[in-house]
Chains A and B, each alone.
Chain A
Amino acid sequence: MLAREDDVLEAAARWRAEGKGVALATVLETWGSAPRPVGSHLVIDDAGRFLGSVSGGCVEGAVVTEALDVIGSGTPRTLEFGVADETAWRVGLSCGGAIRVYVERID
């Protein structure tokens, strides 16, 4: 069976309860052929371990890097990846879509 979103939010709560630094990334908006729907989650811990998906593997690496900053600062941030963005091409969102991702710390 495919992993459900359930598992991601349960993991976020569990990891935080275990004392880890945890960030939650959520797909806010998508344009074009984005691989994961709005509301999809990726949870990241302070060791860079992650579960879930916001893009089917295309930009997870970049989101994890940003999430580590958010775990440090505590300030949520909104990330954008898209075809018009050189970064997006570099990190691999070559599917022609664009996504905006909200990253917040679990306190």
Chain B
Amino acid sequence: MDLSLLSALNAERAARHAAVLVTHLGSNAQRLVKAADTARDPLARELDAALAAGKSGVVGEGADRVFLTVHVPPARMVVVGAVHISQALAPMARGAGFDVTIIDPRTAFATPERFPQTTVIAQWPDTALPALGLDPFTALVALTHDPKIDEPALEAALAAGCFYVGALGSRRTHAKRIERLAARGLSPALLERIHAPIGLDIGAANPPEIAVAILAQVIGALRKPAPAREAAA
């Protein structure tokens, strides 16, 4: 592989852009295809499938065998609310391989002492989220219970196509939240993407257990394609 190709790949990865390195196993010829450019590639269908699954692999037969090295950004979790559940969730999510960022404008909550080894941003989501750059490889978890803080973040996450969007609150709380967001022009199909009440239903009874329920649901959204999830539900 040419160093220039490797450097181009590393630049895509640093920018959290998905890309595929295509290696022809017969000739050893290689090319880099950015996720945004797959339509123009002869292997468009295979590339799109590999990117959607996030899995590398060999495609084609005989002399046409190529290896697709799929690079998708490491999954990130943005937690809105520096609350008790977040204190349990942050280390668990980090252990599962997520880059975790906590956002809460309430400076009494958003302190490094409460969240060792975690990036904590004491700002409103409106200010903090544009700089973070939400994307389809990010999960957004809204836990403050405060519509002023949670809802702008939910709106941004849905707009960015985050692979998981979840919000704490009872069915009643969520119904009111849906009403408010719909009044702001969000479509029913988009609002259905919000997981609420948040987390798998395992009867979680305290913050660490709720954190487990949330993390399991986020991992499910990351690892299982949507149809498989619906079939399992």
Binding site for B on A (CB under 8 A): 1-2, 4, 6, 9-10, 12-13, 16-17, 24, 26, 28-29, 37-39, 76, 78, 102, 104-107
Contacts and interface: CB of A to CB of B under 8 A. Distances in A.
B23 A1 contact: no
A33 B148 CA distance: 49
Q: Is the interface of B mostly helix, strand, loop or mixed?
A: mixed
B3 A102 contact: no
A4 B74 contact: yes
A76 B67 CA distance: 13
A12 B23 CA distance: 17
A52 to B, nearest CB: 13
Given A26-B67, A78-B25, A104-B1, A39 B55 contact: yes
Contacts of A10: 10
Q: Is the interface of A mostly helix, strand, loop or mixed?
A: mixed
A28 B13 contact: no
Contact of A13 (B7, B58, B70): B7
Nearest to A105: B1
B27 to A, nearest CB: 10
Interface of B: 1-3, 6-7, 9-10, 13, 23, 25, 28, 55-58, 67, 69-70, 74, 94, 97
A13 B10 contact: yes
A6 B53 CA distance: 19
The residue in B6, B55, B74, B94 that gathers the most chain A C-beta atoms within 10 A of its C-beta is B6
B2 A38 contact: no
Nearest to B28: A76
A84 B74 CA distance: 35
Contacts of B56: 26, 37-39
Contacts of A24: 1, 6
Contacts of B9: 9
A46 to B, nearest CB: 15
Contacts of B70: 39
